[in-house]
Amino acid sequence: MRATEPLNQADRMDLAAHPIAPSFARRLVERVLAKWGMEELETVANLVMTELVTNAVNATGGDTSAFSKEGDISGIPQCVRAGLHRMGDAVVIEVWDASRTPPKLAEASLDDECGRGLRIVDDLAAAWGYRWLSSGGKVVWARLEAPS
């Protein structure tokens, strides 16, 4: 890290609560980590962001019935917010959704098609958790440490 760089930086993006949201969130991760010179975290950060955004979309409802065949999202008011915060050599990924239901670590069986997202986050992140917001909803976060 250069001495002239601020220790705390942040960037975020609002996303429609739709199954394609994780793809846009991964682009945010790639752009921001490149800007911060922290590309070594890209693979892990993309995976963690994907899992957290997918969970947020599912918690929000992720109703795709309002989408037209052309993919118009103008009729869908539900959204999630994805963000990254740099804190020295660590990156904190935060994802907001409107649900007040707390995230739960699930025990997925080998046959289950879903339910492993937070387990993956738990395995990859130095720490993770959630907090309620007075404005509504919750933020689920995960802290990733740069390799030494």
Helix (H, G, I), strand (E, B) or coil at 141: strand
| Number of residues that this document lists for the chain | 148
pLDDT tens digits for 16-75? Answer: 999 999 999 999 999 999 999 999 999 999 999 999 999 999 998 754 444 444 444 445
Domain ranges for the chain: 8-145
Exposure of 67 in the CB half-sphere (CA atoms within 13 A): 13
Helices (H), ranges, 2-148:
21-36, 42-60, 117-124
Provide the Cα torsion 87, 131, 103, 138; round to 10°: -100
What are the phi and psi torsion angles at 84 (to 5°)? -125, 140
Classify domain 8-145 by CATH number. 3.30.565.10
Express as a percent the part of the chain with pLDDT over 70.
78
